[in-house]
């Protein structure tokens, strides 16, 4: 190869699958992105988004230097000025209105960046505000809560051991499109097909017959928001039919009797009319899970972002425990990462404390130092001491990603100060006063702190940057480290420590920091930095291994099957048996993802957005004809919070009574500087979802099952 042509091995930073990439460059220009066949986890897999990393790298709309807003214009400024404006803005708001008047929001790409994982939580904490928020409370918070109560730590999240299971029951996840979540399983379709090929079963419960359901051996419709009832019924069957078989787990598990009592009133016949799942199907599901030697039940966004998210996550763990599938090959197992994040606190879970304070307006509980983001708009709008007047976002687009985003959109316009660490001027950051753009994925070194912890196989991989950042560009951690020490208050010692941390990082770089972390790995020299540098495709550390009881973090080192907060939430669920969810409308709205979408932010890549219509309103034929709606016609969809106009797609792939829209769209708002995305704007699902619909137990947004009406548009 001529010296200018190079192949780099990298890790895709876009989704949890964390695929290995082989990126070719010619004199620094990206010429190709392929799957890395030698990556021990992803084995050559990649999806269309990885190819679009080239578009992200070259995107003329991506900010490469800081800007400040002057009226409707954006003016280029130096890094020194950007940092000064941000620090002055933060300090000014906190001086005038108190510490809590400044809010901070960390978005999803934070977890896909090593530098941000190392420095964003410290920044968020240094602001010493109670108004800390992240995408956790529109995503996986109920999973953290369930893990905290059952296993003693919010990050002790078991993953399905896909490569060895013979039965995978899926509630509310569509891995064939999402590529898997709370489960790093690149090439999940091949893994799923593997289960079917070895004679196993894959059974999907979803209000939509999804792309995953099409690959499964069975699919059953379930009414949105009723999963907890179905899961209780499965447990009831397991107890009533004497199918409990905990094996070695019995030696270190508490609460079996309380769990039996709790599920006793929820026989399949009782819950079936509400869930829409026939009683005999629920019975068979329970029996199949209990009787299959290697089986696992798993649930994701469909069960966590709904009215009973906490209960669902608890009950899914409980089902795996009573059937002896937790911590067993082919069941739900814990990964053993080379570098553990369980000690680090802060963003995306952190250490397990709950309810140390509540939100000012609605009294919603804190979790791991954060408040539910559904409260952010009201905290900005409601006058009084502690009203939020300033905001810093890092890698987040809450206008499109949080419930009743339109309300937040309006509230953002009234802030005294808003700084965004982001490289796009999008629906959220258009309201900022200053934007500090970090380098993007392929320009920075990477080691996956989060997703090795959730992987279906133990591996470790160090990926050096593929392309050099533009001259003068800054990495996220450099921005965050400097902001942190400059805003740190509360004494010279604290500030000096934050300063020293930033300086040490500058000297060591991410590589140096990871070299130290890897030196303490339980795998010894197999995963030293030197070993990882010699293995650019990653090091295979083998299949998942049993980790309990040693890995438990509960006070008595035992699994808790029936935690008091979960039991206390059951009356709320029982009430659902007799009444539909509160709200305005006779249809229940659910979300969906698309293979070429990435939440709200990869829509500026032409190759990801051209072609098919993305924002169609899926509706069952019976519901369409009852409303005089036809395929391809326009419908006005409205909820308590808002209304949108959508094109109807009549299909029997959704359950009667359910309609479905994707999230992450609606790019045509004034001031959005995304030329391609604007031309394919779509509508925002979260203009219909409701900031007052939460899982009361966890505070997580309840997107799924939002009541809406639909009628022909005028």
Ligand X SMILES: Nc1nc2c(c(=O)[nH]1)N[C@H]1C(S)=C(S)[C@@H](COP(=O)(O)OP(=O)(O)OC[C@H]3O[C@@H](n4cnc5c(=O)[nH]c(N)nc54)[C@H](O)[C@@H]3O)O[C@H]1N2
Per CB under 6 A, residues contacting ligand X are 15, 107-109, 113, 135, 138-139, 171-175, 177-179, 181, 205-208, 210, 222, 224-225, 227, 300-303, 305-306, 394-398, 401, 421-424, 426, 438, 440, 476, 590-595, 597-601, 663-664, 685-686, 689, 703-705
Pairing of strands 706-712, 634-638: antiparallel
Q: Which of 139, 206, 476, 623 binds Mo ion (CB under 5 A)?
A: 139
Query: Does the CA dihedral 65-68-70-71 come out positive or negative?
Result: positive
Q: Which stretch binds ligand SF4 (CB under 6 A): 14-22, 114-122, 318-326, 365-373?
A: 14-22
Ramachandran assignment for 467, one of left (phi > 0), alpha (psi -120 to 50 degrees), beta (any other): beta
% helix, strand, coil for the chain, step of 5: 35, 20, 45
Q: With CA atoms as reference, report the closest residue to 117 among 228, 13, 28.
A: 13
Query: Whole-number minimum distance, CB 346 to Mo ion, in Å?
Result: 17
Q: Which residue number, 195 or 539, has a Cβ lying nearer to ligand X? A: 195
Q: Which of 8, 10, 15, 558 binds ligand SF4 (CB under 6 A)?
A: 15
**390, interface contact from ligand SF4, Mo ion, ligand X, none, CB < 5-8 Å by kind:** none
d(CA 138, CA 8) in angstroms, rounded, equals 35
Q: Which stretch binds Mo ion (CB under 5 A): 134-142, 224-232, 549-557, 618-626?
A: 134-142
Query: Whole-number minimum distance, CB 394 to Mo ion, in Å?
Result: 15
Using CB under 6 A, count the residues that bind ligand SF4. Answer: 12
Q: State the alpha helices, DSSP H only, in 36-132.
A: 48-51, 53-58, 79-97, 114-126
d(CA 383, CA 393) in angstroms, rounded, equals 22
Query: Whole-number minimum distance, CB 108 to Mo ion, in Å?
Result: 5
Instruction: Please report whether residue 17 would count as binding ligand SF4 according to CB under 6 A.
Output: yes
Q: Which residue number, 46 or 559, has a Cβ lying nearer to ligand SF4? A: 46
Q: Which residue number, 291 or 610, has a Cβ lying nearer to ligand SF4? A: 610
d(CA 141, CA 148) in angstroms, rounded, equals 11
Instruction: Please report whether residue 12 would count as binding ligand SF4 according to CB under 6 A.
Output: yes
Ramachandran assignment for 404, one of left (phi > 0), alpha (psi -120 to 50 degrees), beta (any other): left
Quote the radius of gyration of the chain (alpha carbons, Å): 24
Determine contact, residues 471/21, Cβ cutoff 8 Å: no
Whether the upstream peptide bond of residue 549 has omega within 30° of 0, thus cis, is: yes
Instruction: From residue 510, give the alpha-carbon distance in Å to each of 28, 120, 348, 536.
Output: 21, 14, 20, 17
**484, interface contact from ligand X, Mo ion, ligand SF4, none, CB < 5-8 Å by kind:** none
Restricting to residues 49-78, name those near ligand SF4 by CB under 6 A. Answer: 49-50
Restricting to residues 288-307, name those near ligand SF4 by CB under 6 A. Answer: none
Query: Whole-number minimum distance, CB 242 to ligand X, in Å?
Result: 27
d(CA 94, CA 647) in angstroms, rounded, equals 46
Within 100-245, strands assigned E span: 102-106, 132-134, 159-160, 167-171, 201-205, 218-220
Site string for ligand SF4, 149-188 (x = CB under 6 A): ------------------------------x------x--
Instruction: Please report whether residue 18 would count as binding ligand SF4 according to CB under 6 A.
Output: yes
Restricting to residues 183-202, name those near ligand SF4 by CB under 6 A. Answer: 186
DSSP assignment of 381-396 equals HS-STT---EEEEES-
**253, interface contact from Mo ion, ligand X, ligand SF4, none, CB < 5-8 Å by kind:** none
User: Which residues contribute to the site for ligand SF4 (CB under 6 A)?
Assistant: 12, 14-15, 17-19, 46-47, 49-50, 179, 186
Residues that bind Mo ion (CB under 5 A): 139
């Amino acid at each position: 190869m001529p010296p200018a042509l190079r192949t780099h091995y990298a890790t895709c930073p876009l989704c949890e699958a964390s695929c290995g990439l082989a990126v070719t460059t010619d004199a620094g220009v990206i010429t190709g992105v392929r799957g890395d066949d030698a990556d021990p986890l992803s084995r050559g897999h990649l999806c269309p988004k990885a190819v679009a990393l080239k578009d992200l790298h070259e995107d003329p709309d991506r900010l490469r230097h800081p800007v400040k807003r002057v009226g409707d214009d954006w003016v280029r400024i130096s890094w020194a000025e950007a940092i000064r404006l941000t620090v002055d803005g933060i300090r000014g708001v906190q001086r005038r209105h108190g510490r809590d008047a400044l809010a901070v929001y960390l978005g999803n790409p934070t977890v896909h960046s090593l530098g941000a994982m190392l420095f964003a939580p410290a920044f968020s904490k240094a602001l010493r505000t109670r108004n800390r928020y992240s995408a956790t409370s529109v995503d996986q918070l109920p999973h953290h809560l369930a893990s905290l109560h059952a296993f003693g730590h919010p990050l002790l999240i078991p993953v399905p051991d896909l490569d060895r299971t013979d039965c995978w029951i899926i509630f509310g996840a569509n891995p064939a499109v999402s590529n898997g979540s709370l489960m790093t399983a690149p090439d999940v379709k091949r893994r799923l097909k593997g289960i079917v090929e070895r004679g196993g079963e894959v059974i999907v419960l979803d209000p939509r017959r999804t792309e995953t359901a099409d690959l499964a051996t069975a699919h059953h419709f379930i009414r949105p928001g009723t999963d907890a009832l179905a899961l209780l019924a499965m447990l009831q069957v397991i107890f009533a039919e004497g199918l409990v078989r905990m094996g070695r787990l019995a030696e270190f598990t508490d609460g079996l009797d309380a769990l039996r009592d709790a599920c006793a009133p929820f026989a399949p016949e009782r819950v079936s009319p509400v869930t829409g799942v026939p009683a005999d199907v629920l019975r068979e599901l329970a029996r199949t899970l209990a009787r299959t030697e290697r089986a696992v039940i798993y649930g994701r966004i469909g069960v966590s972002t709904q009215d009973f998210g906490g209960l669902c996550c608890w009950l899914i763990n409980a089902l795996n425990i009573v059937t002896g599938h937790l911590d067993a090959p082919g069941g739900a197992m814990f990964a053993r990462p080379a570098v553990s994040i369980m000690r680090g606190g802060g963003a995306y879970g952190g250490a397990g404390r709950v309810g140390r304070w509540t939100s000012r307006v609605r009294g919603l509980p804190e979790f791991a130092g954060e408040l539910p983001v559904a409260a952010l708009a009201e905290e900005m709008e409601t006058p009084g001491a502690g009203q939020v007047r300033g905001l810093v976002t890092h890698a987040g687009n809450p206008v499109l990603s949080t419930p009743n985003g339109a309300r937040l959109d309006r509230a953002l316009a009234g802030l005294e100060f808003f700084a965004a660490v982001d490289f796009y001027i999008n629906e959220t950051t258009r309201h900022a006063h200053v934007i500090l753009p970090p380098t993007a994925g392929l320009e920075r070194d990477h080691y996956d702190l989060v997703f090795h912890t959730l992987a279906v196989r133990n591996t470790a991989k160090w990926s050096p940057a593929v392309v050099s950042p533009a001259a003068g560009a800054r990495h996220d951690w450099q921005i965050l480290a400097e902001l942190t020490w400059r805003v740190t208050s509360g004494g010279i010692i604290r500030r000096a420590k934050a300063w020293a941390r930033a300086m040490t990082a500058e000297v060591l770089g991410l590589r140096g920091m990871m070299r130290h972390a890897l030196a303490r790995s339980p795998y010894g020299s197999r995963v030293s930095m030197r070993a990882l540098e010699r293995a650019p495709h990653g090091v295979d550390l083998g299949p998942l291994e049993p980790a309990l009881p040693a890995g438990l973090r509960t006070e008595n080192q035992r699994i808790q099957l029936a935690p008091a907060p979960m039991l206390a939430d059951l009356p709320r669920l029982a009430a659902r048996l007799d009444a539909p969810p509160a709200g305005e409308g006779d249809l229940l709205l659910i979300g969906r993802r698309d293979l070429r979408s990435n939440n709200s932010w990869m829509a500026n890549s032409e190759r990801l957005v051209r072609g098919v219509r993305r924002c169609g309103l899926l509706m069952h034929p019976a519901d369409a004809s009852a409303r005089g709606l036809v395929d391809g016609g326009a419908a006005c969809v409205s909820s308590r919070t808002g209304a949108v106009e959508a094109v109807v797609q009549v299909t029997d792939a959704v359950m009667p009574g359910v309609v479905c829209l994707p999230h992450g769209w609606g790019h045509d708002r004034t001031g959005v500087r995304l030329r391609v995305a604007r031309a394919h704007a779509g509508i925002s699902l979260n203009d219909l979802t409701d900031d007052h619909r939460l899982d009361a137990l966890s505070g997580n947004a309840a997107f799924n099952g939002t009541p809406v009406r639909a009628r022909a548009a005028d």
